[in-house]
Amino acid sequence: MKNDSNIQSGRCQCGEITYSLDKEKVISAHHCHCKDCQRTTGSGKATILFIAKKYVDLNGELKFFESKGSSGSHVRRGFCPNCGSGILSYAKEISRIFYVKAGTLDDSSWVTIDSNFFTKSAHNWNMPDKSIKCFEGNPSVISGIKTILKSF
Ligand SMILES: [Zn+2]
Ligand SMILES: [Zn+2]
């Protein structure tokens, strides 16, 4: 973390969990319309940033809930044990990559979304943005990330 202007901060609603990340290290950003993201956010989708764990500086103790993803991986969603805000998640199989929830950033104006995941379960009241790439289901994120990891 050399350039301080690239450091972005975020937190849960009560402030027990805070974090900072290097925005230059964000791999990509996505809307995920899967049922699990809809349930945990209580909304039409989750908006997530892919970034290596080492570029996220987390303060506070997240509580994790683990569920099985469609690809067979185990997704661990981390939330504040006090206020319940979802902060980040990761697949147990590739724990070096965090999926940070974009809405928890103090300033997310710099975020550009690359694609939509699980458009098949998108709701009419929250349709996917068709101007970006759409994946009907899981876009083989795991294999994609494994390729990315080789460059770290
Ligand atoms: Zn909290
Ligand atoms: Zn999802």
Give domain limits for the chain.
4-149
Measured distance CA(113)–CA(32) in Å, rounded: 11
pTM for the predicted model, two decimal places:
0.90
- Cα 133 to middle of ligand 1, angstroms: 33
**Mean pLDDT, residues 1-29 taken together:** 92
CA–centroid distance, residue 46 to ligand 2 (Å): 6
Name residue 20's beta-bridge partners.
9, 57
Phi and psi at 119, nearest 5°, equal -65, -20
For 4-149, CATH gives: 3.90.1590.10
37 alpha carbon – ligand 2 mean position (Å): 4
Q: Cα of 119 to ligand 2 centre, how many Å?
A: 10
Closest ligand to the CA of 87: 1
Task: Identify the residue whose tokens are 């997240």.
Answer: 62
Nearest ligand to the CA of 31 is 2
- pLDDT cut 70: percent of the chain above it: 90
Ligand number nearest to the C-alpha of 11? 1
- Nearest Cα to Cα of residue 115 among 58, 57, 40, 30: 30
CA-wise closest residue to 38 among 99, 150, 118, 107: 118
| 52-76 pLDDT per residue, tens | 999 999 999 999 999 998 778 899 9
Which tokens in the block code for residue 76? 């661990």
Task: Kindly give the distance from the C-alpha atom of residue 88 to the centroid of ligand 2, in angstroms, as a whole number.
Answer: 12
17 or 146, greater pLDDT: 17
Whole-number Å distance between alpha carbons of 71 and 132: 23
Higher per-residue confidence, 13 vs 138: 13
